[in-house]
A and B are shown apart, each in its own frame.
Chain A
Amino acid sequence: MRRRSCLPALLPATAGLVFSQQAPRQILEIHTPSPVTSAVFAKTGSQMVTLCKDAKVRVWSLPESKLLRTIDPSSGHRVNALSDDGRWMLTGDRAGNMALYDITTGQARWQTRLPRYPGPARFSHDGKLLALAAQGDPVQVFEAGTMRKLYELESPIGGTNSIAFSRDDSRIATVDGDTLIRIYDAHTGRRLAMNNDSLVEPFTIDFTTDGRYAIAAGGDKVVLFLDAATGKVIRRMDRTAEPASYLELSPDGKALVTSYMKVDNLLLPAPTVVWDVASEHRLAEWLPPTRPVGMSWVRDGRLLAATAAPDALHIWRLH
C-alpha cells in the first residue's frame, strides 16, 4: 500500500459542522423515555440498541424509529457488544456480571461473572465467536452458540483496549495496554504477528476488507496500517492534533472513519473525520454537538452516528 498524499494535521476543533465532499446531516430524531447513554447500530442498519439512564435497553427499528422491545437487564448493566445481525447482545456491570441476550426474545441466554468489570467485547462478523475480557485481563474467546470457552489470548500488562475480527473471521487483532498490537489466528488463538512501534497505547483497531492489513490508532496520534501477516507497519497517516479513540473501515474498504478524543477533557465532543483510504483526502469532517453515544458503518455503506439530548436521540448520517 502506498500513501498518495500528505495532509495537514487535524485542524483545531471548529464550532458547528464542517462540510467537505459530503455533508454530515441529522436524519432522525427519536424521542426516548429516558436519556440515552449509549447506542449500538446493528450492521444491517435496520436495528439499533440503546441503553438509557433508567438502566433499560431499548431495541429500535430503523429508519421507522419504532420501539421493538424493552429489555430490563439487572441494574448497572451496559451494552458491551452487539452481533452484526443485531440478534445477540452482551451486557455487563461493574461487578463483572455478564449476560448474553437474544434480542428477538429479550431473554438472557447465558450469564457469567468476570473477575472484574468488563473491558472490550466483540462478536465475529458471522456471529459464531464472541471475544471478551475483564478489564486488565486476557481476552477470552467463546463459541457464541454454546458459550463454550475456546481459548484465551495472551495476557498483556494492562489488558486489551479494543478487539477486531477480520471480515472473514479468520483473524483477531487486539490493541493492548502495553502499547503492542497483536494479531491472532481466530481458530486457534495462536499469535501470528505483533507490532511494538507505538509508544503510547493504541485504542482502536480494524482490518482492511481483504484482511491483509490491520489499521490501528491511539495515543501516538497517528493511524498505522500494518501487514497482518508480519505485523510490520507499511503505511502511516499524518500525525493529528488529538488521538483517535475509534476507527472503522467502510464496508467497501474505501473510506475510513476516525473519531478523536480531546486528551485534556474526554467529556468534550471532538471531531470525527471520514478519510478516503487511497488518497487520505478528507471526505467529511463532523464536530458533533455533544459527545457521540454511538457510531458505525452499516452494510449499505452509510456511516451512522448518534448523539443524545435529554429527551431524544439524534441519528446522523456522516457519509
Chain B
Amino acid sequence: MRRHPLTRRDLLLKGVALGSVTVGPALTVSDSLAAWQSEEAAARKPTAWNELGPFYKRKAPSNPNLRQPGDPGLPVSVSGRVFDTKGSALRAAKLEIWQADHQGHYDLDGYRYRATLTAGSSGEYAFTSVMPGHYPARVCQHIHYVVTAPGCKPLTTQLYFATDPVFEGDPARNYTRDPLIQSAGLVRPVTLTGDPKEVVAAVSFEIVLERL
C-alpha cells in the first residue's frame, strides 16, 4: 500500500484526536490550525550560501553610507530585512558587507566600501553605496555579506544585480555564467529612480537565516 507522508496539519489533527496535543480553553482546534497555517505561510526559504570571497576584513565601521559625497559610480541603495526560516524578524542581526569600488578595486588597507550594520527592530537594514565594478577575476558585480544572529547559523552570501550585462537581461536563465552563483535568488532586480541626470539604483535583498 502506498504511504503518503503526513502533513503538519494532519499531525496536529491526529495529535488533538489522540490527546497528545492539548488546546487551551481560549483556543479552538481551528484557531490552532489557523495559527499554525499562518506560521507555515510565513515560513521562508533560507538565503542561498555563497562563498566568503578572498577579502573579508573584520572590524568594519558601522557607517551605512559607504558612498561618500563625490564618489564616482552609479549610486545604489540596498535595503531589506533579516528573518529566520520561521519568518520571525531578526532584530539586531549583524550584517558585515563589503564590495569593490565602481572600478572593481577592493580596499584592503582601509575600510572603503565596507560596513558592519545592525538590523533594526523589524529586522530591517539599509545602506548606500555605488554599483560595484567588475572584478577581473570574477564574472559578475557583487556585494559580499556575512550575516549572524543569536540562535541562527551564520550565513556567507553575495548579492548580484539583475542589470549586470553578463546576464544579458535574463538572469533567471543566465545566472550560471558566474560559476559561483548557484541560486538565481541571489540575483536581485534593480529599480532605477531619480532624475535622469542623477539616477539612483535601488535593490531589495531579504536575508533568511537557518535556526541552529
Contact = CB atoms under 8 A, between A and B. Distances in A.
B105 interface: yes
B106 A266 contact: no
A136 B108 contact: no
Contact of B55 (A116, A135, A263): A263
Interface string B88-120: 000000000000000011101000000000000
B108 A263 contact: yes
Contacts of A178: 56, 58
A201 B55 contact: yes
A266 B156 CA distance: 22
B146 interface: yes
Contact of A177 (B52, B136, B182): B52
Interface residues of B, number: 21
A267 interface: yes
Nearest to A219: B108
A82 B57 CA distance: 31
A182 B58 CA distance: 17
Contacts, number: 65
Nearest to B100: A264
B49 A136 contact: yes
A179 B105 CA distance: 20
B136 A264 contact: yes
B17 interface: no
Given A158-B156, A243-B108, A263-B108, A199 B137 contact: no
Contacts of B57: 179, 199-201, 219
B144 to A, nearest CB: 10
B136 A157 contact: no
Nearest to A243: B108
Nearest to B136: A265
Top 5 closest A-B pairs, CB basis? A158-B52, A266-B137, A265-B136, A177-B52, A200-B57
Interface of B: 49, 51-52, 54-59, 104-106, 108, 136-137, 146, 148, 154, 156, 179, 182
20 contacts: A94-B179, A116-B49, A136-B49, A136-B156, A157-B146, A158-B51, A158-B52, A159-B52, A179-B57, A201-B52, A201-B56, A201-B57, A219-B54, A219-B56, A220-B108, A266-B54, A266-B136, A266-B137, A267-B137, A268-B136
